[in-house]
Amino acid sequence: MGGVGEPGGGPGPREGPAQLAAPLPTFCWEQIRPHNLPGDKWLVIERRVYDISRWAQRHPGGSRLIGHHGAEDATDAFHAFHQDLNFVRKFLQPLLIGELAPEEPSQDGPQDAQLVEDFRALRQAAEDMKLFEAKPTFFALLLGHILAMEVLAWLIIYLFGPGWVPSTLAALILAISQAQSWCLQHDLGHTSVFRKSWWNHMAQQFVMGQLKGFSAHWWNFRHFQHHAKPNIFHKDPDVTVAPVFLLGESSIEYGRKKRRYLPYNHQHLYFFLIGPPLLTLVNFEVENLAYMLVCMQWMDLLWAASFYSRFFLSYIPFYGLTGALLLFVAVRVLESHWFVWITQMNHIPKEIGHEKHRDWASSQLAATCNVETSLFIDWFSGHLNFQIEHHLFPTMPRHNYHRVAPLVKTLCAKHGLNYEVKPFLTALVDIIGSLKKSGDVWLDAYLHQ
């Protein structure tokens, strides 16, 4: 049992003191690597080997999220996504099948062990500084100003009527409210507001359902994958957008295979027609509804129905059904512009491609950059201008990003990692530049290879 090899059987209850004291089977990475198949998943956490093959379907974050770390060291991801580690370890214990052999490194492949060690020390320092503790007043004010904007928009129409000027102003206020609701539900989804995960999930359902009309479970399902493997094809839904847009390495692949479903060398132009205007209005609405129905998320469906009932009951008396529907579309289109530009300015211009099996810190830094801070940008972007800090520490309350940022800069400087910070307008323009570059790469490969 103490040698390197396959276990004699699956994990099960052990009986008697002698069996409890028996050493765990040990494995080398060469034995772990093959266990990354749909029905056969192992992963390593804190040098212990777990068989999650059957349990993955019951994983609260979804089987895809945990499956993306198959046959890898998932220690830093485990710490990044969970608040109460002792509670989560109770679920891991029955899945334990062994541990890494003493001579095996903690990470597989050519990873920088010193960087991994220094990052974990940085995380411990952040915990000691209490940077994972939220300020209730901060988030209460966020919710309060969202609700105030919802009331203000309705009062404008109530007091001044449904003319063009009041309607335009109301639509802008509602779009800002919707954008800020995205940010608040994002905080709640990452369990960075309340100490207890259950409170975060309940509050997220209210914000996402009643204030936005979307499913919290749908959002967490896609967004946590993005955090686990940012900018990795077929693992990060945000960059798996072919054949509509080609990003990163997909440009060369499509060019070499002579695939031309759209004029990709002009994707930086048609992006303005189908990207920012339609993401929330069309793609998210359809994907969200399909998820709720297929996954039978009936509570989320009721929450979403409450949003639509409130919205149309509030505005149909002023506009009629058609006018209220047009107002809804206008708000969604404005909101969609905010969502695309703000969430993608930190990612699309960065490295996008297939799995490289990097350590946690390196993979997050390769896929993210920051945007220069100001009181307005911090508020307008929901602190997503601190994308590096957010990706390294997803459960950290956003009002503490500026405090951990100097520590992250020091880590990057020590290990020669790029800590990139851009001006706001430059970050927006770089989205278009990146799309044009990918389109040109596709065209060159298409014509000459």
Of the pLDDT bands very low, low, confident and very high (cuts 50, 70, 90), residue 407 is: very high
Q: What angle do CA 241, 247, 248 make, to 5 degrees?
A: 140
Please write the tens of the pLDDT for every residue from 246-266: 999 999 999 999 999 999 999
Average pLDDT over every residue of 169-190: 98
Model pLDDT, residue 11: 45
Average pLDDT over every residue of 147-153: 98
**2-37 burial by CB neighbour count: b if 16+ within 10 A, else e?**
eebeeeeeebeeeeeeeeeeeeebbbebebbeebbe
Q: pTM, whole model, 2 decimals?
A: 0.91
For the chain, give every domain's residue range.
26-98+105-111, 112-448
Model pLDDT, residue 21: 54
Cis before 317 (ω within 30) = no
Please write the tens of the pLDDT for every residue from 353-363: 999 999 999 99
Residue 269 has pLDDT above 80, yes or no: yes
Model pLDDT, residue 60: 87
Q: Copy the structure tokens of residue 221.
A: 């399902």
Alpha helices per DSSP H over 190-297: 197-205, 216-228, 250-256, 267-274, 285-294
Model pLDDT, residue 20: 53
Which H or E run includes 51?
strand 48-51
In CATH, the number for domain 26-98+105-111 is: 3.10.120.10
- C-alpha to C-alpha distance for 197 and 372, rounded to whole angstroms: 31
